[in-house]
Amino acid sequence: MKEQLYEVKQRAREALDLATTSEELEAVRVRFAGKKGELTALLSQMGKLSPDQRPIIGQIANEVRTYIDAGIREKKAVLERAELNRRLEKEALDVTLPGKARTIGKQHPLNIVLDEVKDAFISMGFSIAAGPEVEYDYYNFEALNIPKDHPARDTQDTFYFSPEMLLRTQTSSVQIRVMEKTQPPIRVLSPGRVFRIDEVDATHSPIFHQIEGLVVDKGITMAHLKGSLELISKKLFGPETKTRIRPDFFPFTEPSAEISISCFKCGGEGCKFCKNEGWIEIGGAGMVNPKVLAHCGIDPEVYSGFAFGMGLERLVLGRYGIDDIRMLYDNDVRFLNMF
């Protein structure tokens, strides 16, 4: 009987190895381990054995049963895994077909850059101030030390509603509004739309944006102006950026300066973008003219300050290599989708 048991074990092993589907495996189970299977049939003859043989054979029979059960379990796992793999294979998708998405809208490039600029200044303790776009001549010119018939007005051809009311030509008007209301220390950034009579072409727009900054406090000197411009340029254009100021003229600052930064396309080597100069002019700056401070009720003998202004469009066109300012106001969806 011992031999018979081992033969069953051997046959079961062979049958298990041959089974390739769950059905075949079930057939193997029924044939060997089922209620009417070979092992049961063999064990039903146990009673015929001598008492001393019975425990020995019983032990072997248990071994064989355990072996067969384990074999079935293992094989079952293998087969299930194989079947799962086959199913997964069938479920395979063409991953190169387009994805389904809820479209997220795009931010206008002017505002992408403007937000960056604002964040850079906010991190340096600036607040953001707004002022009216339709402005009094007083705030746009007079209070900025540009009286009527001043030649500086020629460079800022102005849209008028009446002799006293106009579309602001510069965000510097906000400087005055801030200083009228606030005593120093002052640290504000005032970005916004400005308007000048200019026929529309690839480089001109009658509407554009300026970003104006103003700092007024005790003991502010030209070195602070220079240091701040350097810091801001590095924040906006990268840590390698160099800043250069050179004399310029604005009626509302004294001394005045033009701000240039090392070309962010070529790093100052000279390229088409910077017209081989290595420098790009980004705006104007200067120490706030004492007449302007006094106009706003701030004592220039106690306080001093600096102001600067930059053109947003110039930064945006440069950053993205846009060669036509009209693209910014045409709002072609194909253009907007690039950002």
Partner 1 sequence: MNVSYRWLKEYTPVDAADKVVAHELNMTGTEIKGFRRMDEGISNVVVGKILSIEQHPNADKLVVCMVDVGQSEPTQIVTGAKNMKEGDLVPVALHKSTLPGGVKIERGKLRGVVSNGMFCGVEELGLTVNDYPDAISDGLLILKEGVVGRDIREQLGIDDTVFEADIMTNRPDCLSMIGVAREAAGTFRLPLTVNKPVVKGEGESAEKYLKVTIKDKDLCPRYSARIVTDVTIAPSPMWMVERLRACGIRSINNIVDITNYVMMEYGQPMHAFDYACLDGGHITVRRANDGEIMKTLDDQDRALDGEMLVIADDKKPVAVAGVMGGANSEITDETKTVVFESANFFGASIRHTAKKLGMRTEASAHFEKNIDPQMTLEALDRACQLVEELGAGKVSPDVIDEDYSDKTKRTIPLSADWIRHYINVSISDEEMKALLERVGFEVDLTDGTVTVPSFRSDVENKYDLSEEVARFYGYDNIPSFSFSADVKSGGLTEEQIFERDLRIGLRAVGFSEIETYSFVSPKGFDKILLPEDSAKRNCLKIKNPLGEDTSVMRTTSLPSMLEVLASNYNNRIPSAHLYEVATVYIKDEDETKLPAEPKVVTIGAYGDGIDFYDLKGRIEEMLAALNVANISVRPCKTNPSYHPGRTAELSVDGRVIGVFGQLHPMTVKNFELAGEVYAAELSLADLFAVSGNTKGYAPLPKFPAVTRDLALVCDEAVLSGDIEAKIRTLAGDVLEDVRAFDVYRSAALGEGKKSIAYALTLRDAEKTLQDSDIDPVISAILTGLEADGITLRK
Task: Give me the phi and psi of 2, to 5 degrees please.
Answer: -55, -45
Beta-bridged to residue 135, according to DSSP, are 166
DSSP, res 233: H
Does residue 140 contact residue 169 with C-beta atoms inside 8 Å? Answer: yes
Residue nearer to partner 1 on the CB measure, 88 or 223: 223
* Beta carbon of residue 249, minimum distance to partner 1 (angstroms, whole number): 4
For partner 1, the closer CB: 219 or 239: 219
User: What is the smallest separation between the CB atom of 181 and partner 1, expressed in angstroms?
Assistant: 13
Q: Is 313 exposed, middle or buried, given 0-12, 13-18 or 19+ CB atoms closer than 10 A?
A: buried
- Residue closer to partner 1, measured from CB, 37 or 191: 191
Q: Measured from the CB atom, is 126 or 264 closer to partner 1?
A: 126
Report the nearest approach of partner 1 to the CB of residue 141 (Å).
14
For 308, phi then psi, to 5°, come to -150, 155
Cα 66 to chain centroid distance, Å, stands at: 62
The enclosing H or E element of 136 equals strand 134-136
Contacts with 250 (C-beta within 8 Å, 6 or more apart), sequence order:
152, 256, 284, 286
Pick between residue 206 and residue 267 the one whose CB is nearest to partner 1: 206
Q: Which amino acid belongs to residue 239?
A: P
CB 14, min distance to partner 1, A: 55
Residues 166 and 160: their CA atoms lie apart, in Å, by: 4
**Smallest distance from the beta carbon of 319 to partner 1, in angstroms?**
16
